Structure 1
């Protein structure tokens, strides 16, 4: 009979775990299923997917090589790039499917988090509460609903697998199990360098809940010798720390190359420390009261002394309490230092970007605070009258509220317009949000409204290069060339490595007849971005005007080497070959230009002329007729046709 009872209990326990997993999946899907109808947004999604040629080619050997060698977007995360390539390979540019991949990883992370804490602590209900908070908290919406934050959900997937493997290793140490720990950890670092703090988290787990740490030598020969000393546990993780150091160096180099690292002259160390203290407390506040969430919170640069002092005092008090409770309530110490430690890479001492904080940075750090809540609240309520009932009722109420808030927050990510209108409503002096809202309006053809937001962006921050560049593009389109030149010049002042600003300024200066200055800007654009095929073509066009035909052809060929489907370069090199009287070559390139763009009138006209001079009079006549059939008002084609017709009749 006892055996049957035990078997029944085990079956119920197993069924309960499966049921809780299904509930976690259902609740998470209820919040995020809407993302299938969402679009890409104009903030980083262009760099990561929509305007990235390497990604849009799908998963190729060339793309994989690029992923491991590029510092594009100021990051080194080859597995993240490869995951985006795989999405394109499988789903092409279906935004909903890309979003669903993020959701898939978020659900996996939630389930592994639940199972690994069950495995470590044996407390199923507290573990599921931690996982549910992780799955449903509104601060995590950004990491899930933003395609570009694939790096968050993917790297955390490997974080969770590393934890799972480490628990297995800690209970039955072996080289084989340690290899799995290292493998998952390295995969995580290849997805995002945020995992550099994971070895420290594993040390915290050694203390609680794995209970591996022995602070003092055994008191007597009969004492438990099985627990390793702290130094042994640190030495055990040296390979992980080495990988973390290498990843940190690679990431810092990539961010430096991408211009993302802000210099001390721009944000001094004292301001960074102040922002870090305030940000820690604001993260705690937003965990408890997650409203007014925006995609970017501008760096405030200045804080009142009382806010800095108050933030520092709050952090000191909580830290002191966690140390005081070290032996009796180890989960408090572990959870608090998990939160503090995992935020260190993004807290702003090394400032990357213009934000003071970001919702996405809490994706892993909040797990520490969730641990404190899940284990701490039942402890506090232990002496209360309904101690067994209240935590459960309270958990259901909290999770229901978080589900509603997250569903609402996720809805703001449906497109760029909704996202940045909301961000402007909940933040102030947000020049990035003004710029991106302007870009969203511009994409809808609302150029006057876009212009207003671009102007507000540069008024708030005169050193905002993207705002000046976008103003230049819009003013150029509106015919205000002087205004466009002014803003492209400002964009270059702020960011001398803006290849597009150099190129666009070169185009305008060339149109003004300032060819020498235009050449300098084209050269600069090519130096910054050697694959800038338009700049190669335009540089060749100016050399062609100067009579340097062979030099011009070199640049046209380079443009076509980079982009064989660039019709303007085919046209330009056709003109060059015309000048060299190599008409057969000219004909070939004009025909290619027309194959790419059948409505290219200039190429059609020049093809007819080249055919005529190449002795193909009959083909030339048919070519002129076809050109006039397409556009009877084409005066150049009409004039050339009449001259060719006259020549044809005179020489019959």
Structure 2
């Protein structure tokens, strides 16, 4: 291969035609996502109900993004990307989905660019990029607004690798710093990229050819040859700052997740159970890659019910594959790099340290499957190397595989149309899924289907009687159905399971208030605020309870706190003005009226009538 072969390919008409195909095919498959809604699974946490995000880009919001441990993660750039979307599109889901789709397309093109530049192999690189763009396992990362961190972190990962290629070509400080910068951006988008320094070390072995273990290899970027067995020490030393960043990100992530309570689920599962599940997950991801059907947004962790034999079989299979890969590493280097890319990049989310309630997740394959795709693309080319009309056979295989993936991905995107279609599909293909039963109940509540909500919330409770959220959402359904006594009992049960459940305290207070039990309501709203001092709804509800109890002075203090939480809250402004009016502080009430006119004209007119009674 000539030294300038890869550069020539990047200028060829074939390259640009392939780029056009990838863009058109990806948009064709995913375009329907623009008509999809937000879903009741973290989208409220990340966008629709997050007052720091849905106001758009603000100084307070940017400060919060870098200092918050909200959602038990530290990924400030992911928060900022959502803020920018809210700034541009408000809470219209179409714009948010478009941004994620554009990142996915950009990632596909960057992957193609990187592979061609590193390997000089246009067609194998194109097939990998096509698999990445069109595989159904990647739908979750693209169609789920909350998973913006996947497509965003991968974007910076691709840029990191591209900057690294530039550094390998010409080892300059400014190019090295560019690698560091993109790596930092990636870690600030999703900490799963802590394995990226290992990936760069693997790429040194193949296809960059910077690492020689037993024989002369060629650096495809510089065109130079090396047979230095000690090269690995220099290459590791070169990446010490990268590893330091990864360690720092891991420490921050551990602290934030522990503070946010995401690691509580470690307790029910023994180390043995987590290891067994990890081995099984590794093998199931491979099966799902080959046969991507019956995919779900949540695969419940089987817990201690997972049979030992499954873990043993899966573990042995992984060990045998790894041994084979190592033995073939020199002769078939892409096999080793592809396999260890898959194994290593999955480590942060494989569940040895269990974060969340899933056994596995489709979104975790967004980066990891690239390694297996490389094995498939280069392996198929090698396996058919002696066949007559090899290119025709390879083209035929691609022509069969890609349309199948397009159809499956198109169908998978449709399941993400809204919460109800998504959760029903998940429940159809999983069992004992109490979390999704509960989430379906939330979706039914949101759409006013309270009878259905009561049914599925009860199913969730039967699966896991200790799941506080299901009791809470059952209470919401009862309350919206006018069954306030039942609502009170359900919310009390939720609070007994989780005493710091702020929203449950708040809804219990609402139920008490409807029944005229304002003393009890006030106490519950106070409990909600104690559990979550930034709970705007609880502050507004407490203010209203004080007003209903003819306690305007107390209401004034609470509504002032609510306005500090969100200065643009029309309800807080109205309540404060109303409380001032009841306290005969007319000038202060008029001041709130003037502010309210710019927030909600209808509420402003109502306040005006109260002031001038």
Question: Is TM (by shorter chain) over 0.5?
Answer: yes
Q: What runs of 5+ residues in structure 2 fail to find an aligned partner?
A: 217-224
Change (3 A) 1:239 1:496: farther
Deviation at 1:492, TM superposition (A): 2.4
**Where does residue 433 of structure 1 map in the other structure?**
436
**Where does residue 179 of structure 1 map in the other structure?**
177
Deviation at 1:353, TM superposition (A): 1.2
- Are the counterparts in 1 of residues 451 and 477 from structure 2 also a CA contact under 8 Å? no
Deviation at 1:239, TM superposition (A): 0.7
| Structure-2 separation of matches of 1:112 and 1:568 | 47
Farther off after superposition, 555-564 or 442-451:
555-564
Alignment match of 2:476 (pick from 465, 470, 473): 473
- Are the counterparts in 1 of residues 472 and 490 from structure 2 also a CA contact under 8 Å? yes
Farther off after superposition, 487-496 or 284-293:
487-496
Deviation at 1:274, TM superposition (A): 1.0
Residues 289-308 of structure 1: matches in 2 within 5 Å?
A: 289-301=291-303, 302-308=305-311
Farther off after superposition, 520-529 or 162-171:
520-529
Deviation at 1:209, TM superposition (A): 0.9
Farther off after superposition, 382-391 or 229-238:
382-391
Change (3 A) 1:581 1:147: closer
- Is 1:449 the counterpart of 2:447? The answer is no
Change (3 A) 1:121 1:605: closer
Farther off after superposition, 206-215 or 122-131:
206-215
Deviation at 1:448, TM superposition (A): 0.8
- Is 1:106 the counterpart of 2:104? The answer is yes
Deviation at 1:557, TM superposition (A): 2.6
| Structure-1 separation of matches of 2:8 and 2:265 | 59
| Structure-2 separation of matches of 1:553 and 1:297 | 47
Q: How many matched pairs?
A: 599
**Where does residue 60 of structure 2 map in the other structure?**
62
- Is 1:558 the counterpart of 2:561? The answer is yes
Change (3 A) 1:100 1:602: closer
Deviation at 1:25, TM superposition (A): 1.2
**Where does residue 221 of structure 2 map in the other structure?**
none
**Where does residue 27 of structure 2 map in the other structure?**
29
- Are the counterparts in 1 of residues 450 and 480 from structure 2 also a CA contact under 8 Å? no
* Secondary structure in 1 matching 2:367: coil
Alignment match of 1:260 (pick from 254, 259, 262): 262
| Structure-2 separation of matches of 1:82 and 1:324 | 46
**Where does residue 234 of structure 2 map in the other structure?**
232
Note the alpha carbon deviations across 1:277-333, whole angstroms, 9 max, x for none: 110010000001000011111111122232111111111111111011111111111
| Structure-2 separation of matches of 1:138 and 1:284 | 13
* Secondary structure in 2 matching 1:356: strand
Deviation at 1:592, TM superposition (A): 7.6
**Where does residue 87 of structure 2 map in the other structure?**
89
- Are the counterparts in 2 of residues 590 and 606 from structure 1 also a CA contact under 8 Å? no
Deviation at 1:64, TM superposition (A): 1.4
- Are the counterparts in 2 of residues 40 and 415 from structure 1 also a CA contact under 8 Å? yes
Which portions of structure 1, spanning 4 or more consecutive aligned residues, are displaced by more than 4 angstroms? 9-13, 223-228, 509-520, 537-552, 563-606
Residues 539-618 of structure 1: matches in 2 within 5 Å?
A: 539=542, 550=553, 553-564=556-567, 582=585, 585=588, 596=600, 598=602, 607=611, 609=613
- Are the counterparts in 1 of residues 265 and 355 from structure 2 also a CA contact under 8 Å? no
| Structure-2 separation of matches of 1:213 and 1:590 | 71
Change (3 A) 1:565 1:346: closer
**Where does residue 274 of structure 2 map in the other structure?**
272
Deviation at 1:19, TM superposition (A): 1.2
Residues 303-452 of structure 1: matches in 2 within 5 Å?
A: 303-452=306-455
Deviation at 1:247, TM superposition (A): 1.4
**Where does residue 206 of structure 2 map in the other structure?**
208
Change (3 A) 1:194 1:592: closer
Alignment match of 1:486 (pick from 478, 485, 489): 489
Change (3 A) 1:32 1:545: closer
Deviation at 1:559, TM superposition (A): 2.7
- Are the counterparts in 2 of residues 216 and 229 from structure 1 also a CA contact under 8 Å? no
Farther off after superposition, 384-393 or 412-421:
384-393
* Secondary structure in 1 matching 2:331: coil
| Structure-2 separation of matches of 1:488 and 1:95 | 31
- CA RMSD in angstroms, aligned pairs only: 3.0
Note the alpha carbon deviations across 1:55-79, whole angstroms, 9 max, x for none: 2221222221121111222221111
- Are the counterparts in 1 of residues 137 and 365 from structure 2 also a CA contact under 8 Å? yes
- Are the counterparts in 2 of residues 565 and 596 from structure 1 also a CA contact under 8 Å? no
Deviation at 1:490, TM superposition (A): 2.7
Deviation at 1:141, TM superposition (A): 0.9
| Structure-2 separation of matches of 1:224 and 1:586 | 80
Change (3 A) 1:135 1:598: closer
* Secondary structure in 2 matching 1:328: coil
- Is 1:149 the counterpart of 2:151? The answer is no
Change (3 A) 1:130 1:12: closer
TM-score normalized with structure 1 length: 0.84
| Structure-2 separation of matches of 1:39 and 1:308 | 38
Alignment match of 2:505 (pick from 483, 491, 502): 502
TM-score normalized with structure 2 length: 0.90
